[in-house]
Amino acid sequence: MNAETGIGASALRKEDARFITGKGQYTDDINVFGQTFCVFVRSPHARAKIKSIDTASAMAVAGVIRVFTGDELTADGIGDLPCGWVVTSKDGNPMVAPAHPPIATEFVNYVGEPYAFVVAETLQAARDGAEAVSADFEVLEAVVDTGTATSSAQIHENVANNQAYDWELGDKDATDAAFAQADHVTSLDIVNNRLIPNAIEPRAALGSYDAASQTYTLYTTSQNPHVERVVLALFVQVAPEANLRVISPDVGGGFGSKIFVYAEETAVIWASAKIGRPIKWRADRSESFLSDAHGRDHVTKAELALSSSGEMLGLRVKTIANMGAYLSTFSSSVPTYLYGTLMAGQYKTPAIYVETQAVFTNTAPVDAYRGAGRPEATYVVERLVETAARELGMDPVELRRINFIPTDAFPYQTPVALQYDTGNYAASMAKALELADSDGYMARKAASEAAGKLRGRGYSCYIEACGLAPSQLVLQLGAGVGLFESAEVRVDVSGSVTVMTGSHSHGQGHETTFAQLVSDRLGIPFDSVNVIHGDTGRSDYGLGTYGSRSIAVGGSAIDKALDKIIAKGKKIAAHMFETTDDQVDFADGQFSYAGSNEPKPFAEIAGAAYIPAVYPLDELEPGLSEKAFYDPSNFTYPAGSYVCEVEIDPTTGETDIAKFVAVDDFGNVINPMIVEGQVHGGIAQGIGQALLEHGIYDSSGNLATGSYMDYAMPRADDLPDFQVDMTSTPCTHNPLGVKGCGEAGAIGSPAAVMNAITDALGVKDVSMPATPQTVWQTIQQGT
Partner 1 sequence: MKINITVNGAEQAVDVADNALLSDVLRDALGLTGTHIGCDTSQCGACTVHLDGRSVKSCTILAGQADGGEVTTIEGIANGEELHPMQVAFRANHALQCGFCTPGMIMSAIDLVASSDEPLNAEQVREGLEGNICRCTGYHNIVKAVLDAQANM
Partner 2 sequence: MHRFNFRQASSIAEAHSTHAASDDAVYIAGGMTLIPSLKLRLASPNDVVDLSRIDGLSTISSAGGVLSVGATARHCDVAQTTDIPALASLASRIGDAQVRNCGTIGGSLANNDPAADYPAAVVGLGATVHTNSRAIAGDEFFVDLFETALEDGEIITRVDFSIPSRAAYAKFANPASRFAIVGVMVAETSSGVRVGVTGAGACAFRMSSFEAALSSNMSASALDGIAVDSSEFNDDLHASAQYRANLVTVMAKRAVAQLTA
Contact residues toward partner 1 (CB under 8 A) are 10, 12-13, 15-26, 28-29, 124, 198-202, 250-253, 255, 282, 284-286, 506-509, 673-674, 676-678, 680-685, 707-709, 713-717, 719, 721-722, 745
Alpha-carbon distance of 773 to 778, in angstroms, equals 8
Q: How far is the CB of 314 from partner 1 (least distance, A)?
A: 36
Interaction of residue 234 with partner 2, rule CB under 8 A: no
Contacts of 324 (CB under 8 A, 6+ apart): 110, 293, 294, 331, 360, 361, 363, 364, 365, 366
**Cα-based angle 541, 547, 550 (whole degrees, multiple of 5):** 55
For the packed helices 396-403 and 425-435, what is the interaxial angle rounded to 10 degrees? 160
CA torsion sign for 687, 688, 692, 696 is: negative
CB closer to partner 1 out of 303 and 647: 647
Considering the rule CB under 8 A, would residue 710 count as an interface residue with partner 2?
yes
103 and 70 Cβ atoms separated by less than 8 Å: yes
- Three-state DSSP state, 286: helix
Identity of the residue, 615 or 722, whose beta carbon is nearer to partner 1 in the bound complex: 722
Q: What is the closest distance, in whole angstroms, from the C-beta atom of residue 508 to partner 1 in the complex?
A: 7
Q: How far is Cα 254 from Cα 694, in angstroms, rounded to an integer?
A: 18
Euclidean distance between CA atoms 280 and 285, whole angstroms: 16
- Say whether 187 sits in a helix, a strand or coil: strand
Q: What angle (nearest 5°) sits at the alpha carbon of residue 749, between those of residues 746 and 754? A: 135
Q: What is the 3-state secondary structure (H, E, C) of 212-248?
A: CCCEEEEEECCCCHHHHHHHHHHHCCCCCHHHEEEEC
Q: How far is the CB of 766 from partner 2 (least distance, A)?
A: 15
* Among partner 1, partner 2, none, residue 777 binds (CB under 5-8 Å by kind): partner 2
Per-residue interface string for the shown chain with partner 2, residues 279-308, x marking contact by CB under 8 A? -------x----------------------
H or E stretch at 757: helix 744-761
The residue among 171, 108, 144, 182 whose CA lies nearest residue 702 is 144
Is 708 a binding residue for partner 2 by CB under 8 A? The answer is yes
Q: Which of 154, 214, 419, 652 binds partner 2 (CB under 8 A)?
A: 652
What is the footprint of partner 2 within residues 16-55 (CB under 8 A)? none
**Which partner from the list partner 1, partner 2, none does 421 bind, CB cut-off 5 to 8 Å by kind?**
none
In sequence order, what E strands does 326-471 have? 351-359, 412-413, 419-420, 454-463
Query: Which residues have C-beta within 8 Å of that of residue 478, sequence separation ≥ 6?
Result: 85, 86, 87, 88, 94, 332, 333, 337
Stretch that binds partner 2, among 231-239, 505-513, 557-565, 709-717 (CB under 8 A): 709-717
Q: Which is nearer to partner 1, 554 or 677 (CB)?
A: 677
Residue 341 one-letter amino acid: T
By beta-carbon proximity to partner 1, the closer residue of 112 and 677 is 677
Q: Which of 712, 723, 763, 767 binds partner 2 (CB under 8 A)?
A: 712
122 binds partner 2 (CB under 8 A): no
Helices (H), 256-395: 263-275, 285-291, 374-392
**23/715 with CB nearer partner 2:** 715
Which is closer to partner 1, CB of 170 or CB of 375?
375
Site string for partner 2, 713-732 (x = CB under 8 A): x----x--------------
Q: How far is the CB of 557 from partner 1 (least distance, A)?
A: 23
d(CA 220, CA 224): 10
Smaller CB distance to partner 2: residue 610 or 776?
776
The verdict on 773 binding partner 2 (CB under 8 A) reads yes
From the CB of 650, what's the least distance to partner 2, in Å?
A: 10
N- to C-terminal Cα separation, the chain: 62
- Minimum CB separation from partner 2 for residue 591, in Å? 57
Among 452, 709, 781, 782, the residue binding partner 2 under the rule CB under 8 A is: 709
Among partner 2, partner 1, none, partner that 704 touches (CB below 5 to 8 angstroms by kind): partner 2
Q: Which does 8 bind (CB under 5 to 8 A by kind): partner 1, partner 2, none?
A: none
The option from partner 2, partner 1, none interacting with 249 (CB < 5 to 8 A, set by class) reads none
CB 457 within 8 A of CB 756: yes
711 binds partner 2 (CB under 8 A): yes
Work out whether strand 485-491 and strand 497-501 pair parallel, antiparallel, or are unpaired.
Answer: antiparallel
Question: Taking the complex as a whole, how short is the minimal distance between the CB of residue 16 and partner 2, in angstroms?
Answer: 24
Task: Using CB under 8 A, list all residues that contact partner 2.
Answer: 124, 127-128, 131, 286, 651-652, 692, 696, 704-705, 708-713, 718, 771-773, 776-777
